[in-house]
Copies of this chain bind each other. A is one copy, B any other.
C-alpha cells in the first residue's frame, strides 16, 4: 500500500506498462459508470482490462488508488479557460463547462466516484484537491483579464469567483441531489457576476 509515483517515476516506462495503465484506467471508468465506486471490484476491472488481478493490486493497491490515478490522468487533459471577450460570457462558459462535466455519464460518474473515495482515502483526497486547485487557477485568469479590461473592480479575487460559480452546481449534484440544468448554470453565473460587479469579491486589504 505504499508504491508511489506510478506515473512518472517508473523505472521502465516502456510500452507495456503504459498500455496496461491505459487499459486499466479505461476499464475503471467503465466500471464506475455501471456500478459506482462502492461496486468497484478490482477483479472486474482486471478482467475487463485484460490484465492480471495481481497487477492491478500491485500497482494501485485498491479501489481508492485506482480512482486517484484516474483523477490524475484526467488532470492532464482538462480544458484551458475560455476567452469569449466578456466576463459575462466567460463565467457562463465556466458554468456550462462544469455542467457538461457532471451531466456527462462517464465524467459525472467518475467525479462522483472520486468524491466518494476522497471521503475515506487520503490519496484520493489529494488527487481531488490537486485537480481543482489547478482548474481554479486556470479559470481564475478570466477574472484577471476582466479586471484589466475594466469590467470588474481591481483586486477581485478570481479564484473565489470561479469557486462561487462552480460550487452551487456541485452542491446540487452531490449534496442536495437536485437536478442540475442549464437554467441553474445560467442563473448562477448571473448571480456571481452581479456580486463581482458590486465588489463583493475584492480581496481584503492586507
Contact = CB atoms under 8 A, between A and B. Distances in A.
Contact of A171 (B36, B112, B170, B198): B170
A128 B176 contact: yes
Interface stretch (A6-14, A46-54, A140-148, A158-166): A158-166
B176 A129 contact: yes
A129 B36 contact: no
Contact of A125 (B39, B177, B187, B193): B177
Contacts of A164: 164, 168, 188, 191
A79 interface: no
Interface stretch (A22-30, A84-92, A113-121): A113-121
A105 interface: no
A120 B168 contact: no
A168 B190 CA distance: 16
Contacts of A166: 171
Given A115-B174, A171-B170, A174-B115, A195 B187 contact: no
A167 interface: yes
A37 B168 contact: no
Interface in A167-182: 167-168, 170-172, 174-178
Chain B CB within 10 Å — which of A36, A64, A125, A175 has the most? A175
Interface of A: 35-39, 64, 112-113, 115-121, 125-126, 128-129, 132-133, 136, 160, 163-164, 166-168, 170-172, 174-178, 187-188, 190-195, 197-201
4 closest cross-chain pairs (CB), A and B: A36-B120, A167-B171, A194-B200, A195-B195
